[in-house]
Amino acid sequence: MTLQAPDAEREAAFAKHVIPEVDVMFRVAMSLTRNRAEAEDLVQDSLIRAYRAIDRFDGRHPRAWLLTILRNTHINRNRRRRPELLRDPDVEMERLATTSAGDDYDPESVVVEPIFDATVIAALEALPDRFRTAVELVDLAGLSYQEAADQLNVPVGTVMSRLHRARRRMRADLEDAGFGIKEIE
């Protein structure tokens, strides 16, 4: 039985290990929930759990620790509220019902080549779940191959393979839309 750390230590540990990872937690939560409001809820719940558990954290691999909390919190939330999601391997219909591109549109971020970006994102959204998730974790959330593999509970080789195949499909979509490589002779 461990003694609870004094509040000052708890708060310092939380500030040191957790706050730097909030961005990554949010991006991974977006990949999990496909919905901004749910992602925010999920991250807040996870942060609260992390705060309560920080005295048991050994200080090593904070990102992995936090993403494990995030993943477990997500599973628990779905188990309570939407048990059918855990049994259903294809959550595409859920994603389509809850994603609203209009809500996420931020005019200030669309500065460089907006049509190219929109085409890339459409290609991303069109990917099968396992390919899309690989791209979201590595390119969007900035996880390493190993961190993504841990998050997905698959070997690193699987992450690499899914990334390669996802990118190949996205490039095919881009070429269909007229964004092939410009050959300079």
Partner 1 sequence: MNVLQRWMMRRKMPTAECVRVAEVVQQYLDGEGTAAEALRVERHLDECTTCGLEADALQALKEAVRRHGERDAEAREQLREFAERLARGDIDPVDKTV
Q: Footprint of partner 1 on this chain (CB under 8 A)? A: 7, 11-12, 14-15, 18-19, 22-23, 25-27, 30, 36, 39-40, 43-45, 47-48, 51-52, 73, 76-77, 80, 104-106, 109, 112-113, 116-117, 120-121, 124, 135-136, 138-141, 144-145, 160, 163-164, 167, 170-171, 174-175, 180-185
Closest to partner 1 by CB, 94 vs 139, is 139
For residue 129, the minimal CB distance to partner 1 (Å) is 16
Q: Find all residues with CB under 8 Å of 138, minimum gap 6, and list them.
A: 144, 145, 148, 159, 163
For residue 36, the minimal CB distance to partner 1 (Å) is 6
For residue 47, the minimal CB distance to partner 1 (Å) is 5
Closest to partner 1 by CB, 64 vs 174, is 174
- Note whether 13 and 54 are within 8 A (CB): yes
For residue 107, the minimal CB distance to partner 1 (Å) is 10
Alpha helices in the chain, H assignment, sequence order: 7-17, 22-33, 36-53, 62-81, 83-87, 92-98, 101-104, 114-125, 129-135, 145-152, 156-176
For tokens 């591109």, name the residue: 101
Closest to partner 1 by CB, 41 vs 94, is 41
Q: In this structure, how many other beta carbons lie within 10 angstroms of the beta carbon of residue 123?
A: 22
